[in-house]
Structure 1
Amino acid sequence: MGVFAKEAEISTPLPPAKAFKTFVVDLDTLMPKVAPQAIKSVELLQGDGGPRTIKKITFAEGNLIT
């Protein structure tokens, strides 16, 4: 298993709190709706979805999010 970091700057009309929730907190539920081929699985490792929750998101091979 590897770890990677990606930095991007995105302009959006959303308020910062809503943009963070959408693109970071809810990524595992948003991506399957937008690009179902991109995510292979999502596993909840710890927590209940609130603060300190740890999720393992496995991206499908060959479908890097750019």
Structure 2
Amino acid sequence: MGVITLENEFAVAVAPAKLFKAYCLETDTLLPKILPEHIRSSDIIEGNGGPGTIRKITFAEGKELSYAKQKIEAIDEENLTYSFSLIEANVWKDAVEANKNNLNNSSLN
């Protein structure tokens, strides 16, 4: 099995700390509200929101991906970084061995 690395960078008109809070810390309440056509729910099923926490995201009906489980690996509120792994999903089971994500919300002055 090979390794694929993807890296994306994009600018948004939101302060880095505010984006970090919304996307990384308040995802369970915000994502279903702002993307109801894609995400039905996002729930912590184990843990307290810190490293080691397991989150289940349930997608809207009709999507190929019906659910995904993420494990939070690290959160650094001071440096605005957040890492998680995709540990389970109803698709890609035989094609993907590991999926790790690192988010870095920094200012591009």
Instruction: Give the TM interval when normalised to the shorter protein.
Output: 0.5 to 0.7
The percent identity for this pair of structures is: 42
Q: Structure 2: which 5+ runs fail to align?
A: 1-5, 66-109
- Residues matched between the structures, number: 57
Q: 1:1-66 residue pairs with structure 2 within 5 A?
A: 7-49=7-49, 51-52=50-51, 53-60=53-60, 61=63
The structure that is strand-richer by fraction is 2
Moved over 4 A (4+): none
The structure that is helix-richer by fraction is 1
CA RMSD of aligned residues (A): 2.6
CA distance in 2, matches of 1:38, 1:57: 10
Greater gyration radius? 2
Q: Structure 1: which 5+ runs fail to align?
A: 1-5
Tell me, what secondary structure is at the counterpart of 1:44? Answer: strand
TM-score by length of 2: 0.39
